[in-house]
Chain A
Amino acid sequence: MLAYRQGDSGAFETLYARHKGPLYRFVLRAVRERGQAEELFQEIWMRVIEARGRYEVRAKFTTWLYTIAHNRLTDHWRKRGLRVVELEDIDPPAPRADEPEARAAGRQDLQRLAAALAALPELQREAFLLHAEAGMTASQIAAATGANEEAAKSRLRYALGKLKAALDDG
């Protein structure tokens, strides 16, 4: 990011290539609607570009990036009044009649997991997605979201517990 701030556009391309997939999925699974996810994803990167002059090496770039993403998502949820929207993108297809039993069971597991993920409270879902997509620990999640470490740890633990319970339900 420092290299990009100095005018090296190639440095941005490297950062973008490294982070675009995880960030996109983080946003997509947080808002669960592709059009909105693309809009938010775009806005997050535009804010990264616009904030490049103020970037300082105080934390990992990942933490900085997901702090921007968290702030944008917080605004999004605030505007929408935390409404739950359709699960159009992460709902795996239903099992087909001719599908082998093990594979169909696997699909059902994924369906339950997707539903449980969608049903998590926003902050728990965010903590889980930061962990699963950005590889963050509880203390890094706390740094990116402004929560204290105990709260971040607790959100992650609850999220993992509920998702595990959903997988076990099969």
Chain B
Amino acid sequence: MAESERDERVTQAYRALGDEAPPPALDAAILAASRRRSGRWHVPVAAAAALVLAVAVAVVVEREAPTGDATVALAPQVMTAPAPEVARKSAGVEPRLAESRAKAEDRAAVGQARRDELAKREARQSPQRLSAPAAPAAARESAQAGLREESRAAAAPSAAPAASRVAPPSAAGAVAETPEQWLERIAKLREAGRDQEADDSLAAFRRRYPDFVIPEKMRARIQRR
């Protein structure tokens, strides 16, 4: 039998196995998450705008203040030197926090939809086993656990540079680390037997670059043996 005929026969038989689709509640939750996130670009911009405004107001107030007092005379230096630094840090941290909160909300909402669907399915299979008040309570608890898990996940990327102690990069190097360099660092952690750090760093890598194709040779080096 020709290869294409074999392929066709197997594929046809495979199709007959079924045409399963995700439950509608899961569809709805994923689509809702996508809609919430599609308009979220304005949050970091709004946060940055608010910061610029706050700094500008502070500078104007400072310039209009009386200059006779020695304490106040020092203020412009205090204000002008650290303010851009603070603004830079805040502009980075605030949108990231907003983004993390958004991800946590989305994942919790989608996770809740999936749990509701599972609860419904279980209720259909054995209605006597599932008491009505217990289900929402368990679901709420799971949702909170989901949020906690997401908070840890959101914090993990910042933990990744800490795992770079095997080959400490310079501050500038850490910022500019390419995916390949990050993987090399994980491989070195693995070689050093620091499996937990390697696992954590790999998980952070996956969250940062979910679509990065890790070559099989590198995958063999970074996986737990």
Contact = CB atoms under 8 A, between A and B. Distances in A.
Nearest to A45: B30
Interface footprint category on A: 35 or more
Given A24-B20, A75-B206, A42 B26 contact: yes
Contacts of A151: 216
Interface string B168-205: 00000000000000000000000000000000000100
Contact of B26 (A13, A38, A143): A38
B14 A46 contact: no
Given A49-B33, A78-B224, A146-B216, A160 B20 contact: no
Contacts of A143: 213
Contact of B34 (A9, A25, A39, A74): A9
A146 B14 contact: no
Given A46-B33, A110-B17, A164-B9, A147 B216 contact: yes
B27 A49 contact: no
Contacts of B110: 42, 46
Interface stretch (B37-45, B56-64, B67-75, B79-87): B37-45
A148 B217 CA distance: 11
Contacts of A163: 10, 13-14
B77 interface: no
A127 to B, nearest CB: 12
Interface residues of B, number: 52
A25 B21 CA distance: 7
Interface in B143-166: none
A86 B155 CA distance: 35
B140 to A, nearest CB: 18
Contacts of B207: 47
A64 to B, nearest CB: 6
A89 B16 CA distance: 13
A42 B17 contact: no
Contact of B211 (A46, A49, A51): A51
A16 B106 CA distance: 16
B31 interface: yes
Interface stretch (B46-54, B88-96, B111-119, B124-132): B111-119
B215 interface: yes
Contact of A21 (B21, B31, B210): B21
A75 B21 CA distance: 23
Contacts of A64: 211
B213 A146 contact: yes
B11 A46 contact: no
Nearest to B203: A75
Contacts of B103: 46, 50
A68 B211 contact: yes
Interface of A: 4, 7-9, 12-13, 16, 20-21, 24-25, 28-29, 35, 38-39, 41-42, 45-52, 54-55, 64, 67-68, 71-72, 74-75, 78, 89-90, 92, 106, 109-110, 113-114, 117, 131-132, 143-148, 151, 157, 160-161, 163-164, 167
20 contacts: A9-B38, A13-B31, A20-B21, A42-B26, A45-B30, A45-B33, A46-B103, A50-B210, A51-B211, A67-B213, A72-B210, A106-B16, A110-B16, A113-B13, A117-B14, A131-B11, A146-B215, A160-B6, A163-B14, A167-B9
Given A21-B19, A71-B212, 19 more contacts: A9-B35, A9-B38, A12-B31, A12-B34, A20-B21, A21-B21, A35-B118, A42-B111, A46-B103, A47-B207, A49-B106, A50-B37, A54-B209, A72-B206, A113-B14, A160-B3, A160-B7, A163-B13, A164-B10
